[in-house]
Amino acid sequence: MNSLPWITILIVLPLLASAVLWLVPGLHRVARPYGLVVSLVTLGLAVAMATGFDTGTAGYQLTETHAWIPALGVSYAVGLNGLGLVMVLLAVGLVPVVLAADWHAADDPAEREDEDAAYVARRRATFVALVLALTSLMVAVFAARDLFLFYVVFEVMLLPVYFLIGMFGGPQRRAAAVKFLLYSLAGGLVMLAGVVVTYLHGPRGDQGFLLDSLAGAVTDPVTQRWLFAAFFIAFAVKAPMWPVHTWLPDATAQGTPGTSTLLVGVLDKVGTFGMLALCLPLFPDAARWAAPGIVVLAIVSLLYGALVAMGQQDLMRFVAFTSVSHFGFIVLGIFVGSQVAMTGAMFYMVAHGLSIAGLFLLAGYLERRGGSRRIDAYGGMQRLTPVLAGLFLVAGLASIALPGLSGFIGEYLVLLGSFQSSIPAAVVATLGVVLAALYFLLVYQRVFTGEPRASLREARDAGTLRDLTARERWTMVPVVVAMVVLGVLPGPVLDLLTPISQVLAMGGVQ
Amino acid sequence: MTTFVAPVIDWAALSAILVIAGTGIVGVLVAAFVPASSRRTVQVVLALVAPLAALAVVAWRWSVVVGGGESTLVAGQLAEDGPALAAQAIILIFAVVGFAVMASRLPNGEEAFAPQGAAAPGSAYEEAARRAGLEQTEVFPLALLSLAGMLVFPMANDLLVMFVALEVLSLPLYVLSAMARRRRVLSHEAALKYFLLGAFSSALFLFGVALLFGFSGSISLPDLGTAAATTVGMDGMAVVGFVLVLTGLLFKVGAVPFHAWVPDVYQGAPTPVTGFMAAATKTAAFAAILRLLYVAAPGFGWDVEPVLWAVAIASMLLGTVAAIVQTDIKRTLAYSSVAHAGFALVAIVSLSEQGPSALLFYLLAYGLATVGAFAVVTLVRERDADGNVTGEATHLSQWAGLGRRHPVLAATMTLFLLSFAGIPLTAGFVGKFVAFVAAADGGAWPLVVIAVIASAAAAFFYVRIIVLMYFSRPEESERPGADAVEPGALTRASLVLCALGTLVLGVWPTPVLDLLAQAAKFVV
Amino acid sequence: MTNPYVPILVLMGAAALLALGGIGASAVIGPKVYSRAKLEAYECGIQPTPHAIGHGRFNIKYYLVAMTFIVFDIEVVFLYPWAVAFSDLAVFGVVAMLGFLALITVPYLYEWRRGALNWD
């Protein structure tokens, strides 16, 4: 069974489906069910692939290596280690949820009246096609074992997101999309310079870009530091860390809830994934040298994100800033220099993907009902929409690491590891945990508790404001189930991640 | 008195040039003898068949020459080797797609060129010529003759031959620039500027040739290279001469500080001519620069390198910054072409071994996107009150919402813009990548860093056009919105070829890279 | 052995002498009768200073004559040294010159067919 090229299938299937959908106008009318089916099939295949995965080893599995551009030393080389597998599962798992949640995202109310049915169908098909194309790129980026391939996917991935924000987002979407693209492109191009120089230090030849052949290739400490910086900047923009995070609140505030989910839940993880999969193995000495500085940056992100989140009036921006804080946590875990913390950080990446999906999607549902995403436009919503309120509470508690939910394990391990290696960092990070509880509960209180506003109550009585529909509930079921399962039974995932952190934390090579 | 020895002429090696030049001359005779009714058809067929035939000839020569058969021809004045043939092939590809766009007409039968070149803009005579349906079919022989000059350029192994090629390729272009059907005054201005500055740069080139002759006693490039190593005490003369010759060539390339003509000429010239000129002239001139640098320069390479660095940096930065503030699509693309001249130079500044093949690949990627992008510009038109198609809608704001109404055309344009911006999976990315590798390998990594920063800034204005096409509604512009017309069969074919090329070279560049890698050796 | 540049110096001197001598001699010996036409700047036999825009266009025939002149002028420029070195150049020279003459005939044919030689 493992003789099948699983990863290639996972990459090609959604991409092909996306191209077919875009090119065949007859399919436009059934674009949304079509997308859902394709994404579910992809998920099924990914799960089938995961059953054959051998836990307990840090090496790449399911590897495929083919020459792509031998003249440049580029190969199509894919494979997954434990972390990659977990991230791929997270990505392909979120796609059907997002497609179902954003069922009406492509029906721009401002444009509906003057447009014909074919145009609306084409818009929907474009949305689905972009999400499917993004799926295949997400799989590819986590599976790339070739530096060039990784870079290519890393950059190309910007385009679907750019169009998703720019075409389907809110009123300020154009500026947000451009800001997102330019930030990421600038970071990516800095990395390109690093990619070129790294390659030139490597063994070259037909497979000169394979990560295996590049690890340990750069020996000069100064060069290593420069290259580390080039890569790290790109990943820090992506992650996003303070002070290069400013594109994130804009992008998420303007994108559709589903786009934001994929963006923050999966794509931004490419930043921390890149730190783990590229920065550490390729430039171990420089990583060790830079670690103290990065830990400081991570702590600044952590506190800054939490504090700014508290001051937000816009729900989407609020969620975005909590993510800045959480990414600070993840980066702290990666660089604080403890194996336990690194395992925790990797676990946190998955957990955060789930909680962020819950928060963004539910905030989106709330906005669809209340017509606003301003926090002070609401109040007492738990009486009007009890299911929505309950789910929001669960997602939020998972996000702030309530024991028994997914966020807890990651955060606990990061703190534990930090205490082992740097007490000051751990103390400040703990402060971040307290702040997290504060900002989330404050927001929950203002939106969901108290007396409902008169206008909202009237809307409920008039029947225009209802609790979550069946479709919306079903989108939340897998998310909540996953949160609980990961919170109660983290063992299998930790088994996948621990070998990797064992290798990386020693400054070793995968 | 020396006795004259007749040079041995290897006609086979010259056959590609002869095919193109011969067809150009036949084109002149066609303009003279074929009746007006069928004249245009004959010209178009000739102009499309000749580059294809020449391409076949180049392919044949490639199989004969590359890998051991390299030689100099006609008493050492021309060189037939890998880089020359590769450049010729690339130029001919641009000619095929470029001429196809030139030969296209709008659905209402309008072509891109003035009905009567000699008529004063706006005069009654012009109006009469337009009504009579006159066509200036001389554009095709002119383009072919220019192409002949471009084909000689990469082979020129001798400064005087290079100069003659420079003039042969330039003079027809000056005329073609003046031939736009609409905005004719702008077109005339473009031609005049191009001519005056072109003549000026030719003079500089000649002056440089004179100095180099004084320095080495020879005008042949290989002799120059050896003279540089053996002659002592005249370095100043050599360096000044070399820089002047280089100036003449950099002018054709449109690199800063010799770029002043680029925006005006690209804007004023008929758009199909702009596309062809931007792609093919740049390739030809870069091929000449390649031979100059790799054959003649090594002897005093350390003197030339700083100049190249300065030009490359200035081109990338100024081209990018100036492009950001443009409001006209043709001027934006013109400044972007200045920036691309800088990026292309990055490939060869350090004279590394991969330099030539990297540069040629870059030019191929850039040229395909350029011809394609200008072909799209020819299709985006304004309409008058009666709904008749009028001139090109070149103001950027008029492109708002194009993606809504013409998804396929906008997607094609987007592909070209992404290739310019160097986004992976387009040819432009692979081009930039090989260029950067070549530069960094030669130790010029600070230049790579600057190039990378410039790329990021350049992405801004390409992205801006994409934003306009997809994310804006046409109502947001105060100017009349643009409407795309149906492309003619030839333009359509050209667009398909350019788009396919851009995509294939981005996803699967291996065959082309392998071919170009064989072509890296210069014959001395 | 003389310096090879001496003949060039002599030539330059002779040229200067001829030019200055001609002007000087006519200034000294020539009769001085002025007319309007004589006082105007000379511009190849056409109005030297065109007036308003639109009226100031040169007649196209001006360029046609100039170009036709160049066609034959270039021909002569090349024919003369070719004739001098004819015996050395041998068959190669004949073929090359025939090719050149054939090429130079092409623009002439073009002019003729497109009516450039009809004066009215």
- Of A416-430, A447-461, B257-271, the least confident: A447-461
pLDDT of residue A1: 44
For testing contact with chain A, the best of B452, B473, B475 (most A CBs within 10 A)? B452
C-alpha to C-alpha distance for B497 and B414, rounded to whole angstroms: 15
Q: Residue B430: list chain A partners with CB under 8 A.
A: 69, 72
Interface present between B and C (3 or more CB pairs within 8 Å): yes
pLDDT (mean) for A299-323: 87
Residue from A313, A357, A332, A341 nearest A476 by CA = A357
pLDDT mean across residues, chain A: 83
What lies within 8 Å, CB to CB, of B417 at 6+ separation is B369, B373, B462, B463, B465, B466
What are the CA-CA distances from residue A450 to residues A58, A328, A378, A384, A445 (Å)? 51, 33, 10, 11, 8
Could you tell me which chain B residue has the CA closest to the CA of C114? B32
CB atoms B445 and A197 under 8 Å: yes
Q: Give the mean model confidence (pLDDT) for residues A66-74.
A: 83
* B32/C110 touch (CB, cutoff 8 Å), yes or no: yes
* Cβ contact, residue pair C109, B29, below 8 Å: yes
Place of tokens 């959908």: A21
* C112 Cα to chain B: minimum distance (Å): 8
Q: How many domains does chain B have?
A: 1
Q: Does B471 touch chain A (CB under 8 A)?
A: yes
Below-70 pLDDT ranges, chain B:
1-2, 231-232, 299-303, 475-478, 524
Question: What's the number of domains chain A is made of?
Answer: 1
Note the pLDDT of residue C55.
Answer: 57
pTM across the whole model? 0.88
Neighbours, chain B (3 or more CB pairs < 8 A): A, C
| Percentage of the residues of chain A whose pLDDT score is greater than 70 | 96
pLDDT of residue A251: 83
Extract the tokens encoding B434: 């090989």
**How confident is the model over A173-201, as pLDDT tens digits?**
888 888 888 888 888 888 888 888 888 88
The answer to whether position A510 is within a domain reads no
A231 CA to centre of own chain: 18
Q: CA-to-CA distance for B500 and B59, rounded, in angstroms?
A: 21
pLDDT value for B416: 95
Write out the two tokens for B332.
């934006």
Whether the pLDDT of residue A19 is over 50: the answer is yes
In A, which residues are within 8 Å of B445 by CB distance? Answer: 193, 196-197
pLDDT for the residue numbered A508: 38
pLDDT at A409: 86
Terminal Cα-to-Cα distance of chain C (whole angstroms): 62
Amino acid in the structure at residue A253: A
With respect to residue B276, please indicate whether it lies within any of the assigned structural domains.
Answer: yes
Cβ within 8 Å, pair B31-C112? no
Q: Phi and psi for B156 in degrees, rounded to 5?
A: -60, 120
Whose CA is closest to A140, among B436, B504, B505, B425? B425
Where residue A509 falls among pLDDT bands split at 50, 70, 90?
Answer: very low
Could you tell me if B476 and B396 are in contact, meaning their C-beta atoms sit under 8 angstroms apart? no
| Helices A173-201 and A247-254, packing angle to 10 deg | 130
Is residue B144 a contact partner of residue B50, using CB atoms and an 8 Å limit?
yes
For residue B142, give the nearest of B182, B112, B169, B109 by alpha carbon: B169
Banded model confidence at residue A510, pLDDT cuts 50, 70, 90: very low
Q: Do C109 and B118 touch (CB under 8 A)?
A: no
* Residue listed under structure tokens 């290897």: B10
> For the ranges A50-64, A112-126, B140-154, B203-217, which has the lowest average pLDDT?
A112-126
DSSP-derived 3-state class of residue B122 = coil
The Cβ-side half-sphere exposure at B478, using a 13 Å CA radius, reads 0
A495 vs B196 pLDDT, higher one: B196
Give the pLDDT score at B296.
Answer: 83
Q: Is B200 exposed, middle or buried (0-12, 13-18, 19+ CB in 10 A)?
A: middle
- Burial profile A305-314: b = 16 or more Cβ within 10 angstroms, e = fewer: bbebbbebeb
Contact yes or no for C114 and B32 at CB 8 A = yes
**A1 lies in a domain?**
no
The answer to whether B125 contacts chain A (CB < 8 Å) is no
Confidence of residue A386 (pLDDT cuts 50, 70, 90): confident
Minimal C-alpha gap between A193 and chain B (Å): 6
Q: Are A327 and A299 in contact (CB under 8 A)?
A: no
The pLDDT, as a whole number, for residue C50 is 59
Confidence grade of residue A280 (pLDDT, cut at 50, 70, 90): confident
Contact assignment for C85 to B120 by CB distance below 8 Å: no
Residues counted in chain A: 510
Mark yes or no for CB contact C57/B33 under 8 Å.
no
Q: What are phi and psi of A464, to 5 degrees?
A: -85, -20
Given CB atoms, is C86 within the 8 Å cutoff of chain B? no
Phi, psi of A428 (to 5 degrees): -65, -40
* Residue C55 near chain B (CB below 8 Å): no
Q: Is residue B441 part of a domain?
A: yes
A230 in a domain, yes or no? yes
| Residue-level pLDDT at B50 | 95
**Spans of chain C, pLDDT less than 50:** none
CA distances from A315 to A367, A372, A373, A378 (A): 9, 9, 5, 11
Closest CB from A122, A186, A200 relative to B456: A186
Chain B residues with beta carbon closer than 8 angstroms to that of C88: 3-4
Residues 6+ apart with CB under 8 A from B458: B319, B320, B323, B336, B339, B420, B421
Cβ pairs bridging A and B (under 8 Å): 91
Helix ranges (DSSP H) in B117-270: 124-131, 139-155, 159-177, 184-216, 221-230, 235-253, 261-268
Res A461: pLDDT: 78
Nearest CA in chain B to C109: B32
A412-440 average pLDDT score: 86
Question: Which residues constitute the domain of residue B91?
Answer: 12-115+135-518
Structural domain boundaries enclosing A495: 6-505
Which pLDDT score, from 0 to 100, does residue A437 have?
86
Q: Which of residues 409-428 of A touch B (CB under 8 A)?
A: none
pLDDT for residue C48: 63
In angstroms, the CA A399 to CA B87 distance is 59
What is the pLDDT at residue A419?
A: 85
Alpha carbon distance A20, A389 (integer Å): 39
Domain annotation covers residue B285: yes
Residue B368 CA to residue A17 CA, distance in Å, equals 29
- Does the interface ipTM go beyond 0.90? no
Facing A166 at nearest CB: one of B425, B471, B513: B471
pLDDT of the residue at A10:
86
- From B166's Cα to the closest Cα of chain C, the distance in A is 20
B to C CB pairs, distance under 8 Å? 29
Q: Looking at residue B99, what is its pLDDT?
A: 94
Task: Report d(CA B39, CA B235) in Å as an integer.
Answer: 55
Alpha helices in B6-138 (DSSP H): 11-33, 36-65, 82-103, 124-131
Q: Which chains touch C (3 or more CB pairs under 8 A)?
A: B
The residue type at C119: W
Higher pLDDT, B95 or A430: B95
- d(CA B458, nearest CA chain A) in Å: 10
CB atoms within 10 A of CB B312: 27
Q: Are B249 and B292 in contact (CB under 8 A)?
A: yes
Using CB atoms within 10 Å of the CB of residue B287, give its burial: 0 to 12 exposed, 13 to 18 middle, 19+ buried: buried
Angstrom distance (rounded) from CA B517 to CA B66: 11
Is the model's pLDDT at A112 over the cut of 60? no
DSSP H or E stretch at residue A75: strand A74-80
State whether residue B423 sits within 8 Å of chain A by CB.
yes
**Closest partner CB to C88 (pick from B4, B28, B118):** B4
A302 close to A328: Cβ distance less than 8 angstroms: yes
Residue B120 lies in a domain: no
- Is residue A418 pLDDT above 70, yes or no? yes
CB B360 within 8 A of CB B513: no
| DSSP helix/strand/coil, A438 | helix
Q: Give yes or no for A192 touching B (CB within 8 A).
A: yes
Question: Is B251 part of a structural domain of the chain?
Answer: yes
- Rounded CA gap, B363 and B369, in Å? 10
Burial class (CB in 10 A: 0-12, 13-18, 19+), B24: buried
Q: Do A193 and B449 touch (CB under 8 A)?
A: yes
C58 shares contact with chain B (CB less than 8 Å): no
